[in-house]
Amino acid sequence: MIRNLKFLLPLLLLTAACDQSGGPAVEYRPGEAGTVDHALCLLGFSAVPLRQVAPGHHLIEATVNGQTGSFVLDTGANVTVISVSQADRFGLSSSGASPGPGGVLRSGAGAGAQQAGVEDFRIGAVAIRQDSVVIADLDQLLTTLGRVAGADLAGLIGQDVLVEHRAIIDVARPMLYLMVEDHEPAPIPADRCEAAGTGEPA
């Protein structure tokens, strides 16, 4: 997906006026019975809103080592990648380890990609069970897409995070659901979902 974006760069610039994020904010309703939010909350999922930008990409806020940034949600990338120009901002240094299983990156990150350890990684209220990300040169890609989105983009959230947390993406709303606990199924008491719906600690 995202690896083929270089062929779409002129199109992205032409469609900058087509940002689809100007609609009303999505309301998360885990405490309201009969909603998808409530049903998934009972199964142990927590939701994080996505921002949809033309042409069909989604952005999400993530916090790495205490620093928050905007990332592209990329279901076609097998690993999570932070652009090398953003590494210092997140307190990252490359370890020289092979990037991903078999050293293969399908995110278009390039041959110079390296892993970097992370101490803390969060998306919304979910602590991400991952102790490393990949650092690679994504500046051209992220700069171009950032112009469309009107945002400074830090990197890509890939399948390593999505698979580990059994992600569900509601494209229509748009919303990302991540399973919080590291077991399956992970049902939780209904009162925790009701508390989450009021904004109180669950």
SS (H, E, C) 42-109: HCCEEEEECEEECCCEEEEEEEECCEEEEEEECCCCCCCEEEHHHCCCCCCCECCCCCCHHHCCCCCC
Strand partners, 47: 177
Q: Which amino acid belongs to residue 182?
A: D
Give the pLDDT mean for 92-116.
57
Q: Is the pLDDT of residue 98 over 50?
A: no
**Structural contact between residues 63 and 127, judged by C-beta atoms closer than 8 angstroms:** no
**Residue-wise pLDDT tens digits, 122-164:** 999 999 999 999 999 999 999 988 988 888 999 999 999 999 9
Q: Which two tokens stand for residue 112?
A: 């110079």
pLDDT of residue 91: 94
pLDDT at 51 over 80: yes
Domains along the chain with CATH numbers:
2-10+28-198 (2.40.70.10)
Count Cβ atoms below 10 Å from residue 65 Cβ, excluding itself. Answer: 15
Each residue's pLDDT tens digit, 173-200: 999 999 999 988 778 899 999 888 776 6
**Cα–Cα dist 67/57, whole Å:** 23
Cα–Cα distance for residue pair 53/45, rounded to 1 Å: 25
- Which amino acid appears at position 166 of this protein? R
Q: How far is 40 from 46, CA to CA, in rounded Å?
A: 8
The pTM score is 0.79
Q: What is the mean pLDDT of the chain?
A: 81
Q: What is the sign, positive or negative, of the torsion defined by CA atoms of 154, 158, 161, 162? A: positive
* Confidence category of residue 16, pLDDT binned at 50, 70, 90: very low
